[in-house]
Amino acid sequence: MSKRIIKIFDTTLRDGEQSPGATMNVEEKFQIAKCLQRLKIDIIEAGFPIASQGDFEAVQKIANEIKGLTVAGLCRARDIDIDRAGEALKNADNGRIHIVIATSDIHLKHKLKMDRNQVIEASIKAVKRARNILSDVEFSAEDATRSDWDYLCKITEEVIKAGASTVNIPDTVGYTVPQEYFDLITYIKNKVPNIDKAVISVHCHNDLGLGVANTLSAITAGAGQVECTINGIGERAGNASLEEIVMALKTRPAIYNADTNIVTNKIYKTSRLVSKITGMVVQPNKAIIGDNAFAHEAGIHQDGILKNRATYEIMKPEDIGIPSNKIILGKHSGRHAFKVRLTELGFDLSIEDIDRAFEKFKDLTDQKKYVFDEDIETIVSKEISRIEEAYQLKDISFSGGMSANPKAKVVIIHKEEELETEAFGDGMIDAAYKAIAKLTETKSKLNKFEVQSITGGTDAMGEVTVMIEEKGVIVRGTGAHTDVTVAAAIAYINALNRLELKIKRTQKNN
């Protein structure tokens, strides 16, 4: 029997972006989309066009320039949403309008304030309107796993009649378990008379840690499309992880008799890019792509691996694109070698961006002897993430010690004016943040501060990620430097610039 090919619907750019602080600008989304294209994703959900002008522009740019796959835009069952999505997708090779409306009684009563018949009527109307714009329409029954199964079958039947070619049965709140989800998909297949005219899709959240398990169970029951994200990022505990689903199917063909079109040796670099751009660090013990996924410390394991890798490894690192060796660049490396390395790492930059990144690379080689892939990823991700800067850090200096009160002197540029101040703090970074807060007059709250070494060695670059919040708006900021205190200041300024930009856009949209 030939294997079924499961469609991969990647929602990193939409649901993944809903992770607190993981907001991406248009260029960041576009870079990830190009990486997803090389990964051979079937459908990219590029955003929610009605949500903001930035989301609309991202969906439009990806639809216009990323070819050879389907680009989807999410919308509610509202005319204005559907029309906006259609406008963003009009130049796509293959565009899909993805309509979502809740079907569980708890959502109908407390969120929609509609009865079941009203939801069915709104769904039919929305699908018909979308079909007049594009031939590819997906319908999602939000909170399907907490919906009445017979009602779910009824609305599924009606939206297929109206023209939906994909019907999504999402576990929106990560509530179901594998056997229950298998039974639900089986029930829908048996009870919906026209189900053969649509692809069944599943979208699992990971609130109980079962996102991937539920997805695989649904595939066994007959689902033909799975919705997932790179690194499993997403709202709350995240989504089912693309790399885990893909490699489970690849590794256990006798169990699932299914595969995907994914080019698996592109997984690792895609994971790295998403992590760098979103600032969401992959945990070391993360399946498939974590730093420890192919590490063996126990002596008995090491002995077995040396004799035969299959003793303790069910996959090879090269299967997902982990390089077996790395050529380290240094101060004598030229532009061509640097450009080649960018391509190998999954970046596709303009000549101008390459030139800027190369200048930063050469600056770094003056500070440290060897430059590793991780250093290059950090440099380039900062170029991709360039935003309108209300504040620029011109200079920062510190004084203090074990017996001296730490002090920071900060100079920033704001509206072409140079501002300078000093502040004392509990430590160097605290002093710097107090000085920056004084100069920018920010009322934001620091929710998270993380620092990590990008590579090993005393001359390694330190990368700082912060998350700040003001008026309910949460943003992240990142900074990298061989001096971690300077990296911390850069990260805070970066976050403040993102915050100002996001608040402006929010006010404009309102």
Residue-range domain boundaries for the chain: 4-278, 329-384, 391-509
For the record, the structure tokens of 275 come out as: 């992590």
Residue-wise pLDDT for 245-277, tens only, equals 999 999 999 999 999 999 999 999 999 999 988
pLDDT of residue 99: 98
Burial (CB count <10 Å: 0-12, 13-18, 19+), residue 279: buried
pLDDT at 170 over 70: yes
Q: Which of 121, 136, 198, 130 is nearest to 167 (CA)?
A: 198
What is the spatial distance between Cα 20 and Cα 466, in angstroms, rounded to a whole number?
12
pLDDT at position 199, please?
Answer: 98
The predicted structure's pLDDT at residue 308: 60
302 — pLDDT class (breaks 50, 70, 90)? very low
- Residue 503 binned pLDDT confidence (cut-offs 50, 70, 90): confident
pLDDT of residue 508: 60
User: Right CATH number for 391-509 from 3.40.640.10, 2.40.420.20, 3.30.160.270, 3.40.50.300?
Assistant: 3.30.160.270
Number of H-type helices and E-type strands within the chain: 17, 18
Rg of the chain, C-alpha, whole Å: 24
Average confidence score pLDDT of the chain: 89
Cα–Cα distance for residue pair 178/402, rounded to 1 Å: 56
**3-class DSSP state for residue 96?**
strand
Once rounded to an integer, what is the mean pLDDT over residues 291-305? 57
Average pLDDT for 384-397: 84
Q: Which residue has the higher pLDDT, 46 or 404?
A: 46
CB 38 within 8 A of CB 44: no
Comparing 173-177, 299-303, 466-470, the range with the smallest average pLDDT is 299-303
Q: Give per-residue pLDDT as tens, 356-387.
A: 888 888 887 777 666 777 778 777 776 666 66
Choice between 352 and 165, residue whose per-residue pLDDT is larger: 165
Residue 297 pLDDT grade (very low, low, confident, very high; cuts 50, 70, 90): very low
Give which of 65, 50, 39, 48 is closest to 11, Cα–Cα. Answer: 48
382 or 101, greater pLDDT: 101
Task: Select from 36, 56, 37 the least CA-distant residue to 47.
Answer: 56
Confidence of residue 418 (pLDDT cuts 50, 70, 90): very high
pLDDT at 489 over 90: yes
For residue 100, pLDDT beyond 90: yes
C-alpha 491/C-alpha 481 separation (Å) is: 10
Query: Mean pLDDT, to the nearest integer, of 148-168?
Result: 98
Rounded mean pLDDT, 321-338: 72
pLDDT of residue 165: 98
Q: What are phi and psi of 73, to 5 degrees?
A: -125, 135
* 127, pLDDT greater than 50: yes
pLDDT score recorded for residue 276: 85
What is the fold of 4-278?
TIM Barrel (3.20.20)
Predicted confidence at residue 281, as pLDDT, reads 84
Least confident range of 126-140, 195-209, 238-252, 392-406: 392-406
- For residue 305, what pLDDT band results from cuts at 50, 70 and 90? very low
Question: Is 158 a residue whose pLDDT tops 70?
Answer: yes
Higher pLDDT, 52 or 297: 52
Nearest CA to 22 out of 175, 231, 287 is that of: 231
pLDDT category at 492 given cuts 50, 70, 90 is very high
Are residues 15 and 235 in contact, defined by beta-carbon separation less than 8 angstroms?
Answer: yes
Least confident stretch, 156-170, 193-207, 304-318, 438-452: 304-318
Most confident of 382-396, 438-452, 453-467: 438-452
Is the model more confident about 479 or about 421? 421
First to last CA, the chain: 55
Of the spans 229-243, 332-346, 452-466, 468-482, which averages the highest pLDDT? 229-243
pLDDT at 207: 97
| pLDDT value of residue 477 | 86
Q: Rounded to whole angstroms, what are the CA distances from 392 to 268, 410, 490, 508?
A: 33, 11, 9, 24
Is 43 within 8 Å of 72 (Cβ atoms)? yes
Residues 242 and 206: beta-carbon distance below 8 Å = no
What is the token pair recorded at 222? Answer: 């007959």
Q: Closest Cα to residue 192, out of 147, 221, 163, 151?
A: 151
This prediction has a pTM of: 0.82
